[in-house]
Amino acid sequence: MKVVILCGGQGTRIRSVSEHLPKPMIEIGGRPILWHIMKYYAYWEFKNFILCLGYKSEIIKNFFLNYRYYIHDFTLSLSSSAVKYHTHDRNDDWQITLAETGLDSMTGARVKKIKSYLGKDKYFLLTYGDGVGNINLKELVKFHQRHGKIMTVTGVRPPGRFGELVSNKTNTVIEFNEKPQVASGLISGGFFVCDQRIFDYLNDQEDLVFEEGPMKSLVRDKQLMVYQHEDFWQPMDTYRDFQFLNKLVETKKAPWMIW
């Protein structure tokens, strides 16, 4: 099952950290937050990634093209240009598709543009390149496969500044409000599982916002389910978030670092 990660936004609310990097490349504990997200998925054996690129995509491409140099210790012989690596990680056997999805494309448009890279897989995972959590991804996928609807969203309970989810007793989402004034209960934490039927809800408009028209249409058609996650989840939207996540890594209390 492939993992689609939205990596194209400009991250305007966190420019104070670094205005020269795309948001997914801002470092947490010396590694890009995108790397943390991918390591987490890989821990659960999801190692085939599709990165939806946009703003400063060349920085993300350069990181993965030179991945072994960035991640591992090595000895370089200048006379022969031979490189000997001293550290290896058997869990980094990833396959990564880096897809240019447009500088100004919105989230729905980015997802639509990578459809051909999904092949014939019935399901795919979808998340953002700026948030971490300790979601049990195997249980998330099992939940999605059991209910048979088009999409599952992970519902979390952080401070209410994101899209609020309202569900009934069967976990069917009956209302979705993108960034309400006052939120209560579950909110969208991303970490989606999608059936390829989701593309019936996406069009070719560059300004298509995944969290608006498509998700609300899924709610209308009773095709959006929520997987409730009561444990850790944290986005990196602000400088305060950036400091908090780095502190967790520094103190070895990062709940997502289970590899």
Strand-pair category, 192-195 with 173-177: unpaired
Q: What 8-state DSSP symbol labels residue 172? A: B
In angstroms, the Cα distances linking 208 to 13, 36, 108, 111, 244 are: 21, 28, 5, 10, 32
The answer on pLDDT for 115 being more than 70 is: yes
Q: 183 pLDDT band (50/70/90 cuts)?
A: very low
Q: Is the overall model pTM greater than 0.85, yes or no?
A: yes
Amino acid 171: pLDDT: 77
**Mean pLDDT score, 199-213:** 95
Lowest mean pLDDT among 47-51, 80-84, 153-157, 171-175: 171-175
What domains does the chain contain, in order, with CATH numbers? 2-250 (3.90.550.10)
What is the C-alpha to C-alpha distance for residues 234 and 217, in angstroms, rounded to an integer?
A: 27
Lowest mean pLDDT among 84-88, 119-123, 137-141, 183-187: 183-187
